[in-house]
Structure 1
């Protein structure tokens, strides 16, 4: 064995012990692995995506790979409420937003909801090569700093709800929140739902007890994704948006609390075994 090989082997052992003993080192290492693996999952199939650009099916293989890599890193999910999905019409899918790991949640939902489009901030488009892959599977990029442009882009996409029976996926909080309560919802997704006279499909993800960005903890954990029954927006107008937002928020908050308590009990039980 050469000196270089010995040095690499020694470095590998040193990294192993640091990651084993330090939760902070483990946190950054696992997130680094997640980012690298996510990019590989997304970019690897790009040559095949070029054959049908802007097609939601381009994300099916990356989604499958992402769920498997998520499990490998310790982020496991159980999906409930699949019977509440109706592929015969489009709608707006609302999900609570906690972390970059929500990409795994999208990966689980993508093959379930059918023809899907996700809304993301414009900056993601320039995160090459991930941005290219996102564009190829139909991500709608909006400029949050330009409200009029963002509203116009989303309203155009909302036509796909009725014309293509598409599901548009939103994080209504607009930013990440990891507390015991959901953050206040923004109006954009509700405008789309009302304008399309379609359906809102709330999806609630239990709190990530295994993840704590402040304490730099990234352990293993079992999480729950629950797809709730649709809410019809037929007959609603812009004046109905505030009470609709309040209704959906209370519904999702109540479910978030229940799922969070259940997932905490599940994770505590697994630790004791």
Structure 2
């Protein structure tokens, strides 16, 4: 059989499987996401290697990776852009439901401009994407070593504060897709109070179109809401519990108001 016919048949089988199999579509969409991140990292590697640890490298990565969203069927609706675009140093805190949060971040980064993120140490070794993130100034921390993580973050925050770079963290610590915002770890709040840096809450609405257990991944919309900053100036570490509760309550209220019915309207 001619090779061209073989390719045509293969493409037809893949497309047929994509449209009739929920599980195949689920893995295909995540596969597209991963492949584009890898390819983009390789393309931009020569740029990043010339200016290592420069957070501007993330801008170029995010700009190119925005192509992922239409390919996997997600539309991002961003509210509160005016807070994200301010030329100030913030600790950005967002809820964490899925690795797809990163795709949403690709759409926020051109607005945020100068920012970096905190990621688990394991991601550093997921080359070539992890290597590019390291070259782009992403902060990697060993989650099992609390004191070491705090030292790394405090040092990084002092440096980024002078440069007016925003530091993005997920205060829940790990992602959960059960439609709830779970308890927050205090590390980010400790940094905000120590350095008197405002906290900028960001809320991703519920991923109603995604079910990891059933392996369903439909098309859908996600509202990303950037809430007004919570200022820490004049507050001491004694008020950390109140600060955690205040930020979490605001994010939960926003999350609960962004229901699937409203998103689909």
TM-score, normalised to structure 2, is 0.95
Matching of residues 70-89 of structure 1 within 5 Å: 70-85=69-84, 87-89=86-88
Say if 1:204 and 1:226, in contact at 8 Å, map to a contact too. Answer: yes
* Residue equivalent to 1:144: 143
Distance 1:95 1:6, change over 3 A: same
Instruction: Name the Cα RMSD after superposition.
Output: 1.5
C-alpha distance 31-86 of structure 1, shift in aligned 2 (>3 A): closer
Residue 176 (structure 2) aligns with: 177
Q: 2-side partners of 1:4 and 1:10: how far apart? A: 10
Matches within 5 A, 1:1-273: 2-85=1-84, 87-259=86-258, 261=259, 263-267=260-264, 269=265
Cα distance in 1, alignment partners of residues 162 and 143 from structure 2: 26
Contact 1:87 1:114 in 2 (8 A): no
Change (3 A) 1:264 1:43: farther
Q: Which string of whole-angstrom CA distances, capped at 9 and with x for unpartnered residues, describes residues 78-131 of structure 1?
A: 111011236332110001111111111221222222321100001111011111
Which whole-Å CA distance do the structure 2 matches of 1:210 and 1:38 have between them? Answer: 22
TM-score of the aligned structures, taking structure 1 as reference length: 0.92
Unaligned runs of 5+ in 2: none
How far the C-alpha of 1:266 sits from its partner, in A, is 3.4
Find runs of 4+ consecutive structure 1 residues off by over 4 angstroms. none
How many aligned residue pairs are there? 265
Separation of aligned partners in 2, 1:14 and 1:89: 51
Q: Identify unmatched segments of 5+ residues in structure 1.
A: none
- Is residue 87–residue 165 contact of structure 1 (8 Å, CA) maintained in 2? no
